[in-house]
């Protein structure tokens, strides 16, 4: 019997029982996506890692209009992305343009500013009546503030581009998703024009000057829109997830409070443990490939389930257990190889700053509601909690 996605999860912090059963039977499975299309779900750690680095798989497809899809989003999981003939070259060019803005030197430079932003937000939170909403007061504004400063986007525009980002991330409404993407692009297109006239020390200005200033404005706007969306949506979700994970495993929270040197390890464990699997990153083989003894035909939809891989018992002992002593592991939350997330260093800086200052200033932080009662975003690509009430 072919498995239908999405898989039922009885608890927001638990792996779907059917996914755990599938993993016990092997690393690759035939499934149906939420829109009914056939796909191969890869759940084994070794197999997901291997395929992420395999140049025989890509995000594009020779017949995109008839390719299998995950959902109805126009952003991710809908139609295949990119030019089939030039995908590899296009990806290399994109990374060469963007990577310099997320290098070691740039991240060291921005770290003190991130720490200050966290401090300012926690100052505000400390004056709020309890319970206070960690999502609204910290998880949401911090990544928005950071990406605004990095890209050169006016923070006062945050309500508008946040609304467009949420629309762009709609997974069950292609028209709404396309509308959100279009509005984000039009907005960043306007910003590119401003930066051409008045350059500053930010990413959009840097892209305007790249390749001797020959980059097309539309191309820069596309990159900026993508960074604006990805640079804050996923980090918002991860800050909430880390807080909820640790506050439902108070022995682990207390361990970090007692030993702040564990913060870095705790962040890596939260990045691993919070992604429960049952979905995956879409890829399409350019030729027939064999994975764990299974032959996948060229053009089929393959879902690289990093969350399931992060809970593979062959790689992580007791994967359902949150253990801040596990150490900086080889989780696949940020992908692997040529597809490793460019923004991973920035996300780590933000998460470490948040956790470090939370345990210092709010050592008695507690959830003010059972996890099962926390509202979640169910219609967006990124998902996540809509509210995280806390007391201290």
Q: What is the pLDDT of residues 24-62, one digit of tens each?
A: 999 999 999 999 999 999 999 999 999 999 999 999 999
pLDDT number for residue 381: 80
- Lookup result for tokens 């191309």: 219
Over range 76-102, report the average pLDDT.
Answer: 93
Using the predicted structure, report yes or no on whether residue 161 has a pLDDT greater than 90: no
* CA angle at 359 for the pair 353 and 363, rounded to the nearest 5°: 160
Residues 6+ apart with CB under 8 A from 6: 34, 278, 279
Structure tokens at 244: 């909820």
Q: How confident is the model over 369-382, as pLDDT tens digits? A: 999 999 998 777 88
Q: How confident is the model at residue 263 (pLDDT cuts 50, 70, 90)?
A: very high
Average pLDDT, the chain: 94
**Please, are residues 23 and 308 in contact by the beta-carbon 8 Å criterion?**
yes
Residues 6+ apart with CB under 8 A from 93: none
Structure tokens at 3: 């498995």
Rounded to two decimals, the pTM is: 0.95
Query: What percent of the chain is predicted at pLDDT more than 90?
Result: 84
Q: How confident is the model at residue 74 (pLDDT cuts 50, 70, 90)?
A: confident
pLDDT number for residue 377: 86
Task: Give the least confident one: 63-72, 185-194, 328-337, 348-357.
Answer: 328-337
Over range 212-221, report the average pLDDT.
Answer: 95
Using the predicted structure, report yes or no on whether residue 328 has a pLDDT greater than 80: no
d(CA 274, CA 287): 33
Over range 300-324, report the average pLDDT.
Answer: 96
Q: Where are the domains of the chain?
A: 3-391
pLDDT number for residue 75: 81
d(CA 136, CA 73): 26
Q: How confident is the model at residue 230 (pLDDT cuts 50, 70, 90)?
A: confident
Note the Cα 289 to chain centre separation in Å.
27
CA distances from 351 to 44, 111, 271 (A): 27, 11, 10
pLDDT number for residue 146: 96
Query: What percent of the chain is predicted at pLDDT more than 70?
Result: 99
Reply yes or no on domain 3-391 having CATH 3.40.50.880: no
136 DSSP assignment: I
Using the predicted structure, report yes or no on whether residue 169 has a pLDDT greater than 80: yes
pLDDT number for residue 258: 98
β pairing state of 302-304 and 366-367:
unpaired
> Each residue of 29-54: b (16+ CB within 10 Å) or e?
bebebbeebebbbbbbbebbbbbbeb
Beta bridge partners of 38: 32
pLDDT number for residue 291: 95
How buried is residue 136: exposed, middle or buried, by Cβ count under 10 Å (0-12/13-18/19+)? Answer: middle
Using the predicted structure, report yes or no on whether residue 177 has a pLDDT greater than 70: yes
Over range 70-96, report the average pLDDT.
Answer: 91
- Would you list the DSSP string of 315-346? TSSSTTS--TTS-S----TT--GGG--TTHHH
> Each residue of 91-122: b (16+ CB within 10 Å) or e?
beebeebbeebbeeebeeebbeebbebbeebb
């Amino acid at each position: 019997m072919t498995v239908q996605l999405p898989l039922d999860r009885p608890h927001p912090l638990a792996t779907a029982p059917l996914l755990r059963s599938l993993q016990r039977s092997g690393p690759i499975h035939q499934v149906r996506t939420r829109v009914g299309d056939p796909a191969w779900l890869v759940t084994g750690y070794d197999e997901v890692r291997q395929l992420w680095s395999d140049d025989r798989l890509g995000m594009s497809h020779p017949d995109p209009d008839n390719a299998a899809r995950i959902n109805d989003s126009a952003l991710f999981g809908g139609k295949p992305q990119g030019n089939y003939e030039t995908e590899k070259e296009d990806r290399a060019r994109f990374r060469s343009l963007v990577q310099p803005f997320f290098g070691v030197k740039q991240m060291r430079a921005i770290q003190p500013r991130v720490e200050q932003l966290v401090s300012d937000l926690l100052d505000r939170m400390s004056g709020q009546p309890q319970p206070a909403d960690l999502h609204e007061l910290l998880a949401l504004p911090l990544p928005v503030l950071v990406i605004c400063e990095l890209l050169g986007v006016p923070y006062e525009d945050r309500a508008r581009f946040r609304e467009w980002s949420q629309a762009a991330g709609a997974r069950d409404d292609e028209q709404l998703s396309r509308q959100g993407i279009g509005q984000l692009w039009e907005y960043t297109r306007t910003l590119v024009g401003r930066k051409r006239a008045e350059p500053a020390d930010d990413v959009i200005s840097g892209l305007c000057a790249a390749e001797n200033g020959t980059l097309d404005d539309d191309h820069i706007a596309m990159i900026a829109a993508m960074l604006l969306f990805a640079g804050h949506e996923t980090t918002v979700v991860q800050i909430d997830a880390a807080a909820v994970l640790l506050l439902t495993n108070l022995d682990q929270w207390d361990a970090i409070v007692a030993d702040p040197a564990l913060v870095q390890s705790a962040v890596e464990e939260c990045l691993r443990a919070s992604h429960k699997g049952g979905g995956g990153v879409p890829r399409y083989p350019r030729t027939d490939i064999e994975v764990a003894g299974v032959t996948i035909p060229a053009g089929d939809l393959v879902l690289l389930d990093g969350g399931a891989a992060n809970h593979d018992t062959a790689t992580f002992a007791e994967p359902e257990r949150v253990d801040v002593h596990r150490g900086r592991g080889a989780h696949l939350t940020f992908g692997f190889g040529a597809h490793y997330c460019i923004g991973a260093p920035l996300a780590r800086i933000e998460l470490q700053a948040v956790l470090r200052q939370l345990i210092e200033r709010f050592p008695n932080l507690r959830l003010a509601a059972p996890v099962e009662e926390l509202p979640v975003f169910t219609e967006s690509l990124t998902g996540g909690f809509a509210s995280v009430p806390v007391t201290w």
